[in-house]
Structure 1
Amino acid sequence: MVDVLDNKRVATRLRILVEIAERQPAVSQSEIADEVGVTSQAVSEYIRELVDEGFVEKEARSRYRVTNEGVDWLFRASEAVRRFADHVTEDVLGAVDEDAAIATDAIVEGETVSLSIRDGHLHASPGESGGATAIATTDGAAGSDVGVTGFEGVIELDPGTVEVLQIPPVRAGGSTAVDSDSLSSAVERVDLVAASGVESVVALESIDVDPAVTVAAGAVASAAAERGLDVLVAATPDAVGRITDELRDSDVSYEVSDAQGTENR
């Protein structure tokens, strides 16, 4: 393994080799010195070593190129840096990351809590009764927002489904061609209603339903289903394809309903 982060000299070699690769073939040692924060004499010594080791090839005065061996070393060094960065972001920062949850009961700072997803939101309950736990970072009464950190385990969650209900375009009757009872029944089966297209908005308003969103319906439906919510998207035919594309990309279970029947996916 390349000890880029264990040895200051190796780290300097890496930076100088990167600078050469960016500037080749015309290489200004003074510019590299300014960029890296060492003297021009030090850069000259480093370059001489890189040439001797076969990482850099000298073509003429102030003209250098990184060799295949140098490129390979850069890849290995970069991979070592990437692994360290992943360790910092995932293991170190992830362990101290803080999120907000809704308290199901009174919670005291420092208390271990169980985590769950309800109505699409993170909830925290006192004690270790679930598969995922955390530590409360603030006090909170039931129903309030509390801070949680130190997440462990996996939150058990059944993903929701999406029903895409095609609303006829205005040239085919639009909202007036929709069976209100069927639309009302579809709304009652879900946790969240979205709309795409004017005809869809008007059809929902005709049964006194205000859609949660009227833009980016596919993205919202995907995110909601991933959080365990069942969603109805009322959409005109020209919007159905875009919505189902987003649902497929997110691997969300959905069905498309229209006058000809239901298509399961």
Structure 2
Amino acid sequence: MSDDATDGDAGLGVLRHKRDATRYRILVEIAERQPAVSQREIADAIGVTAQAVSEHLGDLAEGGFVDREGRGRYRVTKEGVDWLISRTDELNEYLDHVTSDVLGDVEVETALADGPVEEGDRVALSMRDGVLHARSVAAADSGSADAGGATAAAVTSAESGRDVGVAEFDGVVDYELGAVTAVAVPAVRDGGSGAVDPARLRDLAADADLVVAAGTEAVAAVRRFDREPDVRFGTVDAVREAAMRGLDVVLVVVAGQLSAHADGLRETAVGYEVVDASRDG
């Protein structure tokens, strides 16, 4: 099994990496059918070729997650079961997040109106700059949308650029999750903003949708390359929400707060990395 599927930083690797998602499904199929397991049956069940199943089984056996017990006979080892349980727990946590925080309690969502919207209109939904947008569509086109087929019903009226309530969702808004690049700034007693290379930080921030500072030393570090942070009080929830809504975030954070942000991001499918921007880095 690959490192990105087994180390603690993998988070929801089974969702982020196609290879690990395939191996997860192969292990589930073996656990359900063992010990007599046909590679063809697994391939048909998960929608890949028998050759791909064979290659994955070789890697799984080499990694100690599967035992071969003769031709067409496999058994998931204790290590394989432990890996399945850990990844299933992570998936359950993520599904709980989606159900409760994203879908469950939200009967009416808020969007920005792209043009006038009347209550009862069917609207096409899109995500831009981290904000949900709604555009009224003609009755003849009410079953489709220009944003991955996502539509909803307007429950309030709104002028262009104003907030509008939407409900009765159909389809999924098509957009990519953002990513978080975290830059740790030492506490002031350990050098503070002076320990960070402002040129390196400027380069990292150049392509970001959002530059977020968490802590006074972080604010000072951003200002050293003549920029004001887009967000001066970068909480864990704010950074996570921005990335979940498709924004690429550069998080400049006091070192002591970094672990809290990392823990928060590991609960989502958002990718993140910690970059060394120190003068000695």
Q: What is the TM-score when the length of structure 1 is the normalising length? A: 0.57
Partner residue of 1:166 out of 181, 184, 192? 184
Matches of 1:98 and 1:214, distance apart in 2: 28
Large movers: runs of 4+ above 3 Å:
none
Q: Which has the larger radius of gyration?
A: 1
- Equivalent residue in structure 2 for 1:116, among 106, 119, 126: 126
Give 1:186's aligned residue: 204
User: d(CA) in 1 for partners of 2:177 and 2:169?
Assistant: 21
Q: Quote the offset at 1:198 in angstroms.
A: 2.2
Determine the structure 2 residue equivalent to 1:199.
Answer: 217
Distance 1:239 1:147 in 2: 36
Contact 2:204 2:250 in 1 (8 A): yes
SS in 1 for 2:256: helix
- Once the two structures are TM-superposed, the CA of residue 259 in structure 1 deviates from its matched residue by 4.6
Any idea what SS the aligned residue of 2:117 has?
coil
Corresponding letter in the other structure for 1:179: D
Residues 251/148 of structure 1: CA separation in 2 closer, same or farther (3 Å cut)? closer
- Cα distance in structure 1, aligned partners of 2:189 and 2:228: 23
Aligned to 1:210: 229
- Unpaired runs of 5+ in structure 2? 1-99, 138-143
Q: What is the deviation of 1:236?
A: 2.4
Gaps of 5+ in 1: 1-89
> Is structure 2 residue 115 aligned with structure 1 residue 105?
yes
Map of 1:146 onto structure 2:
164
1:33-71 Cα deviation digits (max 9, x unpaired): xxxxxxxxxxxxxxxxxxxxxxxxxxxxxxxxxxxxxxx
Shift in Å, 1:108: 2.4
Contact 1:204 1:211 in 2 (8 A): no
Alignment partner of 1:232 is 2:250: yes
Query: For the Cα contact (< 8 Å) 1:201–1:214, is it kept in 2?
Result: no
Residues of 1 paired with 2:256 and 2:175: CA distance?
A: 33
Matched residue, 1:246: 264
- Greater relative contact order (Cα 8 A, min sep 6): structure 1 or 2? 2
Distance 1:244 1:230 in 2: 15
Question: Could you list the per-position Cα deviations for residues 96-146 of structure 1 after superposition, in whole angstroms to 9, with x for gaps in the alignment?
Answer: 932221011222222211112212121101223232111122332221112
Separation (CA, whole Å) in 1 of partners of 2:277 and 2:229 = 23
| TM-score, normalised with respect to structure 2 | 0.54
User: Given residue 114 of structure 2, which amino acid in structure 1 is its aligned partner?
Assistant: T
Residue of structure 2 in register with 1:85 after alignment: none
Question: Over aligned residues, Cα RMSD in angstroms?
Answer: 2.8
Indicate if the aligned counterparts of 2:183 and 2:277 stay in contact, CA closer than 8 A. no
Q: Which residue of 2 aligns with 1:51?
A: none
Superposition deviation, residue 185 in structure 1? 2.2
TM-superposition CA deviations, 1:131-169 (whole Å, max 9, x none): 211112233222111222211111112000000012233
Q: Which amino acid aligns with 2:109?
A: D
Change over 3 Å in CA distance of 1:146–1:259 after alignment to 2: closer
Change (3 A) 1:253 1:119: same
